[in-house]
Structure 1
Amino acid sequence: MMTFLSILLIAAMIAVVVVLIRGLATFLLNASADARSGETGPSESALKSNKMMQYRVFFQAIAIFIIVLILFIGSARS
């Protein structure tokens, strides 16, 4: 059970890093173009970057939940 949770934790942490990098890359690649366009309101790339950051928060919450679960199971065994 602990091995399975450890694998899930590693997968969640990798997902956090991947989504963070994708969100930052989207933001950095499109921020200057969005500033030059002069449009009002959020652009499509800004919405995509925002969605990536929402996914990051979601995966971080999953990782924290798995850590709490591992600590809870570990303390129950001792």
Structure 2
Amino acid sequence: MTKVRFFAAAEEAVGRDALMTDAVTLGDLKSTLLAEHPALHGLLSRCAVLVDGARVDDEFALAGAQTVDVLPPFAGG
């Protein structure tokens, strides 16, 4: 199982700061998140999604991954 952590607007859209997943690939995870959390539509595509701290493509296999972070764009600085 892989832990998925949500930050800022993504956390608000999902209604919690983390969940566990057994998705096979990052693309599978994204599809599941959109199906289960409609408020992520329009937001998830703008988020940085990092697997164990690295940007990867949707074909990336999550087997052995510890953490997926879903980071929406931040304003300010």
TM-score by length of 2: 0.21
- Higher relative contact order at CA 8 Å, sep ≥6: structure 1 or structure 2? 1
TM-score by length of 1: 0.21
Larger Rg: 1
